Amino acid sequence: MPNAALLETFPNPYPERDYEIAMECPEFTSLCPLGGIEGDADDLKALQGGAPDFATIHITYVPRDVCVELKSLKLYLWSFRNDGIFYERAVNRILDDLSKVTQPRWMEVVGDFNIRGGIKSVIRARIGARTPE
């Protein structure tokens, strides 16, 4: 189950400068909350839950006082592994959890999900305005 308590931070080493941190996490996996699109109820009993979803999660932000600690982020993303959750909710949830612990100047989370039913989905959410180039 997504566990925001796993997230840790460390003090931003350059708080006086606005700079951008981007992380790409290609090993995100969770379960479909319905089991729906591709399997029927009987099959899914094998997994005691819904069908697996796979995504690459992109996180970009400008830190204020703290940065996300990389290893804790990995563990936090692992905590979705056996949780049933919609694409839209997963991406917005990650944005909520990460922005609450880091209080960034702005942050964007993008979830790039694998093909299901012949359709690829990408969800993009953001808080704050991107620092102009």
Binding residue for a copy of itself, selected from 83, 92, 101, 105, defined by CB under 8 A:
92
Binding residue for a copy of itself, selected from 86, 99, 101, 105, defined by CB under 8 A:
86
Binding residue for a copy of itself, selected from 82, 83, 84, 105, defined by CB under 8 A:
82
Residue 41 lies near a copy of itself (rule: CB under 8 A): no
For 41, 49, 90, the CA distances from 109, given in Å and listed in that order, are: 32, 26, 10
Residue 128 lies near a copy of itself (rule: CB under 8 A): no
Residue 106 lies near a copy of itself (rule: CB under 8 A): no
- The verdict on whether 25 is a catalytic residue reads no
Tell me whether residue 66 is exposed, middle or buried, using C-beta atoms within 10 angstroms of its C-beta: 0 to 12, 13 to 18, 19 or more: middle
Q: 62: helix, coil or strand?
A: strand
